[in-house]
Amino acid sequence: MKMKANIVRCAVLLFIAYSAPLVVADPAAHLRNDGKSYYVAVKADPALWDGKDGKGARVVSPYDLTKQIVASVFQKGRQVANVVELADSYGSDFILRLPDSALADGVSALTVAVQSYPVGEGRMSGFTSSVSNEVSATVELKGRAACPAGFPLLVQFSDADVMTPYGLQRIKDLRDYMEKTRPAVQVESNTGKEAKPRDVKTQTKFFTDPDKDSGGRFFQCLELTDEPPSGTFDIEFKYPETAPIELRRPFLSKDVANAAHTLAPFTVDESQVGKRKLEQNLDASFQFGSSVEDKKEKNAAGVEEPVRKRNSKGTLDLRLAPFLNVLSLPDPGEKTFKFYTPLLIDARISTGKINEDTLALNRIILGSEYEIRRFTNPSTYPSYQRYIFSFRNASDRDFKQAEWKGGFEFQPVISALNRPLRFRRKSVNPILDKDPERAPRDVPTTIGFGGQVLPLIGVEAGKTWRNKHTFAAIEKTTFVRRFYFGGTINLDLTAYVKVSVKDVLYVRGEAQDDDPLHNYFKGTIEVPFPAITRRSASSAFFSFERGGEPPFATPDVNAVKIGYRVQWDGWFGQRR
């Protein structure tokens, strides 16, 4: 008998659900709480009859009107409430009070079916509506600008365009609750085998008072007493079962990254020590090699004989800058960035004697750098000027020769000359996916010309303050002074051929008589090939290099290189 009644109810629900959209506009059903229990507040559309006749005289009392309404709340097709009561004080037409058990699956499982209600004298209507919350709560990591060490739990209106008086009051109630109650926390590291509990700090910060001016929203910064694990992890905040319904579900944030440091790709860095980019606080690598070889040594009788000897060598490549930049971002309205690295160490040294077999440049640079980067056109193709001031001490590993020098370099980047082909992209709507909400694709331009001209000009001056080399006495001067200018031109002849030319001319004050001008040139042509596999890329290159760079201690280079370069990742399904 009971089953038959349920089937009839479901049939009625389905019938109304099918026919209701044809006759009604936008009814609403919200889950609310009046301090005693939860109820569904229904706002009918078409509007509920006010019980007055055409002349404005009341003919039916609100109580009797309510008795004419036939409505039920269903939870996954099962009826959980059907007693209609008078409206609440927040603008609903009528309410249906819920038993506690109805909220076990959350608000999303609830549907209200109004089989019939009066819309006028002798006229009835009906509708169905899913039940929703006017207020929602989420862990919003985008709020970490103000809450960098915590997890912002954001409470706001589910629909910012509909700020109901009940919603505003509810948000205030939730804030009061959150001030008194802290959620339980579980953290599961992506590399761990189990979830581990954590605690939320007792004193938590709240941001913005929940009122109409704030858009009816606020967030609480939930900071943990112990740091979450490094790397990627899932974190869940869970309030007690007795918490307000909006906070009762677990708040799960997945794949949260805790700034685990990713390794920069390991590449051979051929740049001169002192000219290399400093983008990490510490970038150090060590190398150790050991081999056995035959060497001729004189024995006690003074006769050379082969001796088997082990030869071990180690190298250290170090870039250290404890404070990469101690200056903050431009002030409001300003377009100039300032960077100051108070201390930097750039070194490549090896063990053993410094001779032709050495494995490193054996140079150590210590210094500091200050850069003013002024944007005159911060657009898609920006124009800016880089003014780089540096003070450095350069020495060899054994501190036999050392020089200090101050330098200034100017690198203008001009919008009209800063148009590489890879900057050019076009928005194209997806063809296969007809979803209008789908984001358009960015298509890179492959046919066309692009280029970059990056000029530079600089001076450096200093003094050789230590020279223990054998020929130090015959050096003409210890005053090091250089002026240099030049630049780099990168040309994209379609996306398939790239040409790069770098030329810098040095005017050497310290060698005015014997070597006043010194040029360095490097030209490269690169032809990227079609990918071998989905995870690989390759290109052929040709380069010509001629000249020398400071400190001009080694003979000039004159070299032609032809090569083939392959980049490949994802071997054995592994990525890093």
Partner 1 sequence: MASDARVKAILADELSSRAAARFADAGDKWTKKEMGFFFPENENTVDLCVLAALDRALEHDGTTVPKKVRNNVAQLISTSTKAKDAIVTIALATFQPTPK
Residues making contact with partner 1 (CB under 8 A): 140, 142-146, 148, 152, 154, 160, 205-209, 213-215, 218-219, 328-330, 332-333, 335, 337, 373, 375, 378-380, 382, 384, 422-423, 425-427, 439-440, 442
Element counts in the chain: helices (H) and strands (E): 4, 31
CB of 154 to partner 1, least distance (A): 7
Q: Which residues of 256-289 are buried (b: 16+ CB within 10 A; e: fewer)?
A: beeeeeeeeeeeeeeeebbebebeeeebeeeeee
In angstroms, give the least distance from the CB of 425 to partner 1.
6
Pairing of strands 150-157, 70-75: unpaired
Q: Would you say 33 or 336 has its CB closer to partner 1?
A: 336
Measured from the Cβ of residue 74, the count of other Cβ atoms closer than 10 Å reads: 22
Task: State in angstroms the smallest separation of the CB of 290 from partner 1.
Answer: 43
DSSP string, 74-122: EETTEEEE--EEE--TTS-SEEEE--GGGGTT-GGGEEEEEEEEEEETT
Choice between 90 and 219, CB closer to partner 1: 219
Q: How far is the CB of 438 from partner 1 (least distance, A)?
A: 8
**Nearer to partner 1 (CB atom), residue 218 or residue 251:** 218
3-class DSSP state for residue 268?
A: coil
Shortest distance (Å) from residue 138 CB to partner 1: 11
Cis peptide before 436 (omega within 30 of 0): no
Contact partners, residue 26, CB within 8 Å, separation at least 6: 45
* Alpha carbon distance 233, 207 (integer Å): 26
Q: Is 531 helix (H, G, I), strand (E, B) or coil?
A: coil
With beta carbons less than 8 A apart as the criterion, state whether 502 and 546 touch: no
Closest CB 165 distance from partner 1, rounded Å? 19
Q: With the C-alpha atoms ordered 98, 99, 100, 102, is the resulting torsion angle positive or negative?
A: negative
Q: Amino acid identity of 335?
A: K
Q: Would you say 427 or 554 has its CB closer to partner 1? A: 427
**Contact partners, residue 215, CB within 8 Å, separation at least 6:** 156, 157, 160, 163
- Residue number, 152 or 244, with CB nearest to partner 1: 152
Among residues 280, 231, 271, 16, the alpha carbon closest in space to that of 128 is found at: 16
Question: What is the spatial order of strands in the sheet that 110-120 belongs to?
Answer: 78-81, 70-75, 110-120, 123-132, 28-33, 38-43, 94-97, 84-86
**Tokens 């014997």, residue?**
514
Please state the closest distance from residue 361 (CB atom) to partner 1, in A: 30
Q: How far is the CB of 500 from partner 1 (least distance, A)?
A: 17
What is the smallest separation between the CB atom of 555 and partner 1, expressed in angstroms?
A: 37
Q: Specify the residue, 74 or 218, whose C-beta has the smaller distance to partner 1.
A: 218
The H or E element spanning position 325 is: none
Name the nearest CA neighbour of 139 among 196, 192, 200, 194: 200
Decide the pairing of beta strands 557-568 and 536-547: antiparallel
Q: Closest CB to partner 1 among 20 and 453?
A: 453
Task: Identify the residue whose tokens are 């009762």.
Answer: 248
Closer residue to partner 1 (CB): 384 or 404: 384
Q: Cα dihedral angle (534, 535, 541, 547), rounded to 10 degrees?
A: 160
Shortest Cβ distance from residue 439 to partner 1 (Å)? 4
**Minimum distance from CB of 575 to partner 1 (Å)?**
18
CB contact at 8 A, 43 and 93: yes
Three-class SS of 442-454: EEECCCCEEEEEE
In the bound state with partner 1, the residue whose beta carbon lies nearer, of 422 and 468, is 422
Our CB check for partner 1 shows the closer of 100 and 213 to be 213
Between 122 and 436, name the residue whose CB sits nearer to partner 1: 436
- The Cα–Cα gap between 494 and 380 comes to 20
CA–CA distance, 151 with 231 (Å, rounded to integer): 16
What is the C-alpha to C-alpha distance for residues 518 and 511, in angstroms, rounded to an integer?
Answer: 10
Q: Exposed, middle or buried: residue 174 (CB in 10 Å: 0-12, 13-18, 19+)?
A: buried
Min separation Cβ 343 and partner 1, Å: 21
CB of 327 to partner 1, least distance (A): 11
Q: How far is the CB of 417 from partner 1 (least distance, A)?
A: 15
Name, in order, each residue with C-beta under 8 angstroms of 118's C-beta and a sequence gap of 6 or more. Answer: 48, 49, 60, 65, 68, 69, 124
Residue (340 or 521) nearer to partner 1, CB: 340
Cβ distance to partner 1 smaller for residue 156 or 315: 156
Return the number of the residue (450 or 550) whose C-beta is nearest partner 1: 450
Task: Select 85 or 279, whichever has its Cβ closest to partner 1.
Answer: 279
| Closest approach of partner 1 to the CB of residue 384, in Å | 8
